[in-house]
C-alpha cells in the first residue's frame, strides 16, 4: 500500500452522499469511496446504511490504513435507523421497500475521521457528535 | 440422510462428541479475557490470557482447546476463542495515559490494529458467540451493533453478557433494551457473580449450534 500522509486540520467539512451514488457499486468500491471521503478529512453523511459485512469490512480496512497512513487514527461510525421494533406488517412493508430501492433508505450513516470526531454518542432518541478541539 | 449424518445428528442431540467453538467478542476492556479466564481456570486450572486495565491488552486471538464444562450433570466440550477487542479507532496517544513509553505505545497500537483485523476474520469460524459488553457503558455503540449484526447475518447463536455488574454504574436494563431480540445475562467476571445463569444460557445456545 502506498504511504500517504493525512494533513492536520483546522476545520471540517460535511459531505452528503446519496444512496444512489453507491447503489450500483460493489462492496469493495463502496468502502473505497467512503474511505476516500474520510481521508479527505470530511464527515460523511450517507443516506441509507451499509450491509453488516460491509461495516466489518470498513472497520478492517480502517485498521489496515491506521498502520499505513500517518496521522490517521481511525473512524467514528454511527447508524441511525427508524423504529426497529415495529410490528410484523410494518417490517414486511419496510423490507419490501428496501428490496425495491436496493437499500435501507430510512437509515442515515455518519462516518467521520477520528482526528475530527472524538465520539459519536448515541441512544435511541438522539445522536451527539463530539468533535476534537 | 446418510449414516454419518444420522449419527452426527444423534450425537448432537445428546451433546456428545462435538466440540463447540465458543468465541468471546466485544469492544476493548469489556472483560472478554477475564470471563474466558474464569471459565478456563474453573474447568482446566489454567488461564487463557493476561488481563489489564490498559485497553487492547489482548492483541492476538487466544485459544484453549477442549475445555469440558460441567453444569447440572450436563457436560459439553468447548474450544474457547478469546478475541482482541473490536474498535473503529486506535490512537497510540491513548496508551500514553497509562504511563507507557511512546515507542511501546506505538507498537501496541500497531499490534492492536492487527488484532481487530484478526477478530473480524475469525467471526466466520465460530459456532456460538458470547458478546461481552461493559454494563457501565452505553450499549448503543456502533461497534456492538456491528458485531451483533454480523453474527445475526451469519446465523451464529449469540448470548450477550452484561459484565461488571458489581459496579454501581452498571445498567443491565439499558443493554436489554438496546438488544431486545437477545438474551442478556448480567455477570461479574471479576468476582464470579451469576455464573450459574451464564452456564445455563451457554448450554442452551450451544445446542442451537
Q: Which residues of chain B have pLDDT under 50?
A: none
| Cβ distance of A56 and B120 shorter than 8 Å | yes
**B208–A contact, CB cutoff 8 A:** no
Domain region containing A112: 4-131
Cα–Cα distance, B154 to B62 (Å, whole number):
22
Number of folded domains that form chain A? 1
pLDDT over 90 percentage in chain B: 88
pLDDT score recorded for residue A10: 63
Model confidence pLDDT, tens digit, residues A28-55? 999 999 999 999 999 999 999 999 999 9
pLDDT of A102 > 70? The answer is no
CA atoms within 13 A on the CB side of B21: 12
Higher-confidence residue of A11 and A126: namely: A126
**Preferred mutation among A62, A63, A87, A116 to probe B, highest tally of B CBs within 10 A:** A63
The pLDDT of A86-90, averaged and rounded, is 60
User: Residue A126 is placed in which grid cell?
Assistant: 438522539
pLDDT score recorded for residue A126: 79
Would you place residue A121 in the very low, low, confident or very high pLDDT band (cuts 50, 70, 90)? confident
CATH class of B24-72+80-206: alpha beta
A27-39 and A52-68 helices, crossing angle to 10° = 50
* Overall pTM surpassing 0.80 (yes/no): yes
Backbone dihedral region for residue A9 (phi beyond 0: left; psi -120 to 50: alpha; all else: beta): beta
CA distances from B62 to B83, B89, B118, B201 (A): 6, 22, 11, 23
Chain B, nearest residue to A71 by Cα = B91
Amino acid at each position: 500500500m502506498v504511504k500517504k500522509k493525512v494533513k492536520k486540520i483546522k476545520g471540517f467539512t460535511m459531505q452528503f452522499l446519496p444512496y444512489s451514488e453507491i447503489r450500483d457499486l460493489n462492496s469493495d468500491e463502496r468502502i473505497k469511496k467512503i474511505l476516500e471521503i474520510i481521508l479527505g478529512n470530511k464527515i460523511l453523511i450517507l443516506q441509507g446504511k451499509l450491509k453488516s459485512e460491509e461495516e466489518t469490512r470498513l472497520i478492517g480496512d480502517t485498521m489496515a490504513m491506521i498502520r499505513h497512513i500517518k496521522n490517521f487514527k481511525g473512524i467514528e461510525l454511527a447508524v441511525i435507523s427508524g423504529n426497529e421494533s415495529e410490528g410484523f406488517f410494518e417490517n414486511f412493508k419496510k423490507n419490501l421497500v428496501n428490496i425495491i430501492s436496493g437499500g435501507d433508505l430510512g437509515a442515515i450513516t455518519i462516518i467521520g475521521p477520528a482526528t475530527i470526531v472524538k465520539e459519536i454518542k448515541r441512544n435511541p432518541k438522539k445522536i451527539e457528535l463530539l468533535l476534537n478541539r | 440422510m446418510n449414516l454419518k449424518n444420522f449419527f452426527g445428528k444423534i450425537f448432537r442431540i445428546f451433546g456428545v462428541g462435538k466440540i463447540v467453538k465458543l468465541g468471546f467478542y466485544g469492544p476493548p476492556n469489556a472483560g472478554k479475557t477475564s470471563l474466558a479466564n474464569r471459565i478456563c481456570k474453573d474447568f482446566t486450572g489454567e488461564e487463557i490470557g493476561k488481563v489489564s486495565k490498559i485497553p487492547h491488552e489482548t492483541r492476538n486471538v487466544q485459544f484453549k482447546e477442549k475445555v469440558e464444562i460441567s453444569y447440572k450433570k450436563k457436560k459439553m466440550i468447548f474450544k474457547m476463542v478469546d478475541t482482541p477487542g473490536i474498535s473503529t479507532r486506535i490512537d497510540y496517544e491513548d496508551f500514553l495515559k497509562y504511563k507507557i513509553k511512546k515507542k511501546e505505545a506505538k507498537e501496541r497500537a500497531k499490534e492492536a490494529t492487527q488484532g481487530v483485523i484478526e477478530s473480524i476474520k475469525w467471526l466466520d469460524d465460530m459456532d456460538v458467540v458470547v458478546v461481552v459488553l461493559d454494563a457501565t457503558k452505553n450499549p448503543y455503540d456502533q461497534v456492538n451493533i456491528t458485531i451483533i449484526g454480523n453474527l445475526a447475518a451469519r446465523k451464529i447463536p449469540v448470548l450477550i453478557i452484561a459484565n461488571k455488574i458489581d459496579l454501581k454504574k452498571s445498567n443491565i436494563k439499558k443493554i436489554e433494551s438496546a438488544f431486545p431480540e437477545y438474551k442478556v445475562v448480567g455477570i461479574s467476571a471479576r468476582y464470579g457473580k451469576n455464573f450459574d445463569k451464564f452456564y445455563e444460557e451457554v448450554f442452551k445456545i450451544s445446542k442451537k449450534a
